Structure 1
Amino acid sequence: MTWRGPHVGPARVLNIAEIAAQEPFIRSVLRGLGVPAVDVGDVLQDVMLGAWASSQAGRYRPDPVREPLDALKRWLFGVCRFHCTHYHERAFRRREVPVDDPWAATDEEHIDPGHVGERIDAAEALMAIAAMPLWAREVLVLAALGHGGTEIADILGIPLGTAGSRLRLARARLACKLRRRRGTSPP
């Protein structure tokens, strides 16, 4: 037995079609490992992508003594177990509290349940951003994620001055587009 497992067979690279053909098996394993039906599709996607990436990295080493399909299913079971463990440990799963009426859980009485006005504003902003050139979308999204000018420059591989200029120009373009959409004149 080695650190890789009970055997050291030759590495075999799987293509995504070989893994996708085992979808019914993976679904049944996920359900058996306690993944709720509503989340099986998401975890299935993680498992399939993880299995493919692991195979590409040379970590699929089937036991030459076993039937190929049996060896594949055993390996996929291990991948499922790995992803299920991480799924059950995620913070959003630990803190999720299912409530029939989420608005009843708040103390405020006069809440707009749909936040319609805020949703319309957000949709307008997203449409305006989507219509902007790629360089502007990149800096706006990175800034919205909380990155500063130096981080934006590092991520995009551009000089700090260029990152600052792009961010300033992108914000000005976005403000102009939003004013036009709302039909207001510039201040």
Structure 2
Amino acid sequence: MRRLIYVLFTLACAGSVKAQEYGRNLGSVSVTYNGQSGKTFKYTDNQVELSVPKESMSEITVTAKNVSSSPIYFNWSESYFIINEETVQINNNTNESAVAFGQAVKEANSVSSNTKIAPSTKSDLRIGIKKGMFWDYQDANKYFKDNGKPREDKLVLVFDQDGTKLEKTIPILVYTGKIIKQLKK
């Protein structure tokens, strides 16, 4: 009996390692960031350190840490997503639950002001889009069928520092179960 449990445990672990090759499973799709196959994403340069601690089909949280010696500002109005070869404006989802419960009011066409990130501090940027969902299972499968490769979306984050715009791009590969099966052949 112990041997059977050990074999089943080993098979389960091997299956979970394979699943990590295709990133984080969000239900109908899986995503990887910047071609990194594990379940974490981290990008660092001499100004900012970016990571994605969590996401869903309708929201991505990007933790932005200022690693420079002067303040940086995240520019909500100039940052955007490229989803399925279409440019999509991002939203600041930080106060969405307060708005939903009537605890805050948000203008329909309001633009979030820049988020200041002081030196050696970090800020969680809760990013959404007006449409609600980032990825569509059928669109991802159609793109793969037409192009023979997974779709690569991009999250483009624009920061301002000392009057200079800093553009950071996070490539996002989108997979479905159907795409993963085709890639394993």
TM-score range, shorter chain: under 0.3
TM-score (norm 2): 0.24
TM-score (norm 1): 0.24
Question: By percentage of residues, which structure has more strand?
Answer: 2
Higher relative contact order (CA 8 A, sep 6+): 2
